[in-house]
Structure 1
Amino acid sequence: MTCDPEKDPLGGYLRLRNERPDLFRNEGGPGAIDIVDPGQASVDAGALGLVYEDPYIRLLRDPVRFPDGRFGTYLRILGAADGPGCAILPVIQDRVLLLENYRHAVRAWTLEIPRGFGTDGLSAESNALKELDEELSAQVESITPIGAVHPDTGLSSQLVHLFFARLTATGPLEAAEGIRGTITLTPGELDSRIVDGTITDGFTLAALTQARLRRLI
């Protein structure tokens, strides 16, 4: 689908509803927030629709009916690609490898695992291998799926697939993405960094939880 959200947010929204009805399903039942037809929302139709789109995300303002019967709007973010996103917990010589990554949203350096948006035409595992190659120039011995995580169910529809990867070596880093280095930690050192608040990235914490429950680390 191609459109200019700034010129025709409602038209782009209606086209997306027609092409991807799965994104607009209603669960029904008490307490559910239902998506309704734009004409039912008690707001200017110009405030509805596909309000922003780029190669990475789509920002929607849906017309909805709340559980108490009120009509209004609700914002949500969809991934622009149909392929699944991924986040990978890499281990090398029994130490967890984390990226020192500058994140614009928080305007700070973070310690986190590699991750990436979905890529059209790639499976979650293929996308994970691509991210390891791009960000770490990694040589991968094995890769194992370890579940998935919704990073923010209050705003984003994205389901990110988690992987555990054993690496034999790494190479040049992807500096253009704000990666200045890597750090490797033992499980005990990792726990200390989590407790003291040094590691706060949700993908990293989710992948670590899955890996521990599966006795991979």
Structure 2
Amino acid sequence: MEFMEDTLTKNKLYQGKIITLETQEVLLADGKQAFREIVRHPGGVCILARDEKDRILLVRQFRKPMEEAYLELPAGKLETHLTPEENAKKELEEETGYRCGSLVYLGAYASSPGYSDEMIHLYHAQDLTPGVKGGDEDEFIDLIRLSDEEFVKGLRLGVIKDLKTVAAYTLSKLL
């Protein structure tokens, strides 16, 4: 069986600052029709970085959809005028106050392909030097530094539950 769906109709329901929501009627491989809801997202970056004591740099910020503060690696939405690597360098400095000399690309991964086209580019930042912490006016971020042992404990206890953070950490250990 061929794994394709032909789009019969598209309907844009919402165009926001970050996402677009559309619905589609599709034709399945067996000739039946189905309905799809799709979130269009420009994509993002997520950066694993370690300070001079080899501690992982994380940020804690309130995430409204989850109604709680999340502990995550520095990350951000792709800006169309920047490459993913340029976005990663910008987000790292804005959220942590560190610049990196180089980035190791860990790959791009779908965050939730069942309903969104968002791809997140994961990086491992190296050769950190002090920079200038900045950020968006509507972001309130605390910088947290964890050892590998503390990070793994946070995973086990459910303190760290952001999937892009888990993926970047895991990939940095495998590659």
Query: Does TM, normalized by the shorter one, top 0.5?
Result: yes
Q: Deviations over 1:194-216 (max 9, x none)?
A: 011100001100101110102xx
Which is strand-richer, 1 or 2? 2
Match of 1:210 in 2: 171
Match of 2:153 in 1: 192
Match of 2:71 in 1: 111
- C-alpha distance in 2, partners of 1:200/1:121? 30
Match of 1:101 in 2: 61
In structure 1, the gaps of 5 or more residues are 1-29, 39-47
| Residue identity opposite 2:148 in structure 1 | P
Q: Does 1:74 align with 2:36?
A: yes
Q: Is the 8 A contact 2:94 2:132 kept in 1?
A: no
Deviation at 1:169, TM superposition (A): 2.9
- C-alpha distance in 1, partners of 2:30/2:70? 41
Q: Does 1:65 align with 2:27?
A: yes
TM-score when normalising by structure 2: 0.88
Q: Is the 8 A contact 1:136 1:174 kept in 2?
A: no
Q: Does 1:53 align with 2:15?
A: yes
- C-alpha distance in 2, partners of 1:56/1:112? 20
Q: Does 1:163 align with 2:123?
A: yes
Match of 2:83 in 1: 123
TM-score when normalising by structure 1: 0.72
What is the percentage of aligned positions where both structures have the same residue?
28
Q: Is the 8 A contact 1:77 1:156 kept in 2?
A: yes
Deviation at 1:122, TM superposition (A): 1.4
Match of 1:89 in 2: 48
Match of 1:146 in 2: 106
Deviation at 1:54, TM superposition (A): 1.6
Match of 1:34 in 2: 5
Which is helix-richer, 1 or 2? 1
Secondary structure in structure 1 of the residue aligned to 2:144? strand
Deviation at 1:123, TM superposition (A): 1.1
- C-alpha distance in 2, partners of 1:107/1:174? 21
Q: Deviations over 1:115-169 (max 9, x none)?
A: 1112112111011111123222322233211112211111111111100113233
In structure 2, the gaps of 5 or more residues are none
Structure 1 pair 194/144, CA: closer, same or farther in 2 (3 Å)?
same
Q: Is the 8 A contact 1:78 1:156 kept in 2?
A: yes
Larger radius of gyration: 1
Q: Is the 8 A contact 2:45 2:122 kept in 1?
A: yes
Deviation at 1:98, TM superposition (A): 0.5
